[in-house]
Amino acid sequence: MTNAPHIREEDLELYALGALPESEAAPVRLHLASCGLCFAKLAESRGHASLLAFSADQEKPSAALKQRLFARVAADSSPIPSSSVRHEKRRPASWWNWVLVPATALLALLSLALWRQNVRLFAELRDAQRIASDFERERVHVQRVVNALTAPETITVKLTGTPDAPGGTGLVKYNSQSGLLVYTAQLPPLPAEKVYQMWLVPTHGAPISAGTFLPPAPGLPHVWTAELPGGTAPKVFAVTIEPAGGVAQPAGPKVLLGAS
């Protein structure tokens, strides 16, 4: 990315219209090759120029405008015999408009196509960046889980079913230093208005929620994770049945229990 100052908007507008002198257009092209922000603004300027070209009525230039135009051309060109000038002045009326109108329309079409292409490319770039960011977050999360599961201080607690769920089982892995809790459970389905809620009961203080969950489809194991306050010493892990959305403190029947 270049550190040079960005191009002024009025210069970009003139460059998009092809009205910037070559001595000024050359450094603009050089800057655009390495500045994505100015390149994006140029695409917008070309789009504006295209829309203006399509919305403008094509009219025959006035005699005064043609006179000023050819005076400018004569001033920028090398001197030529006056007879030739008089001869050339008679020619624009017959072919000048036939050249300018199609050329302007073609330039407008090309500019509009470039503008649309730039918009599409920037949209694809944003999508790619978003997907890459999602992958990176998932990679960091998975790596953290792996580190916690393999750390020597991580404990494993087996959960067994209570009389409210005699066939239920579960397994908890908890790293008190990081506060990361990973668990899985095999429990029967629940009504739509109910959920299971995992709890860490510390040696001191009130139970801490580790989130709500529903059992997966039969034959499909699932693992849940939760972020708990680091340094919390557990006494018991429990699973209760609670209203949908969970509760602040356990109130429903206990279905799984496991002492650490």
Give the pLDDT mean for 95-100: 52
Q: What is the mean pLDDT of the chain?
A: 78
Greater confidence (31 vs 189) lies with 189
Sign of CA dihedral 105, 107, 109, 112: negative
Distance, CA of 90 to CA of 81 (rounded, Å): 15
How much is the pLDDT for 44?
Answer: 72
pTM (2 d.p.):
0.50
Q: pLDDT tens digits for 168-203?
A: 999 999 999 889 999 999 999 999 899 999 999 999
Q: pLDDT tens digits for 121-141?
A: 778 778 878 888 877 877 776
- Please name the residues in contact with 228: beta carbons below 8 A apart, sequence gap of 6 or more: 174, 179, 180, 181, 200, 208, 210
**Eight-class DSSP state of 162:** -
Among 32-36, 54-58, 98-102, 229-233, name the one with the lowest average pLDDT: 54-58
Whether 42 and 16 have beta carbons less than 8 Å apart is answered as: yes
How much is the pLDDT for 51?
Answer: 52
Whether 45 and 114 have beta carbons less than 8 Å apart is answered as: no
Q: Which domains does the chain have, with CATH numbers?
A: 9-56+91-147 (no CATH), 155-259 (2.60.40)
How much is the pLDDT for 87?
Answer: 47
Greater confidence (14 vs 80) lies with 14
How much is the pLDDT for 86?
Answer: 47
Residue 65 reports pLDDT greater than 80 = no
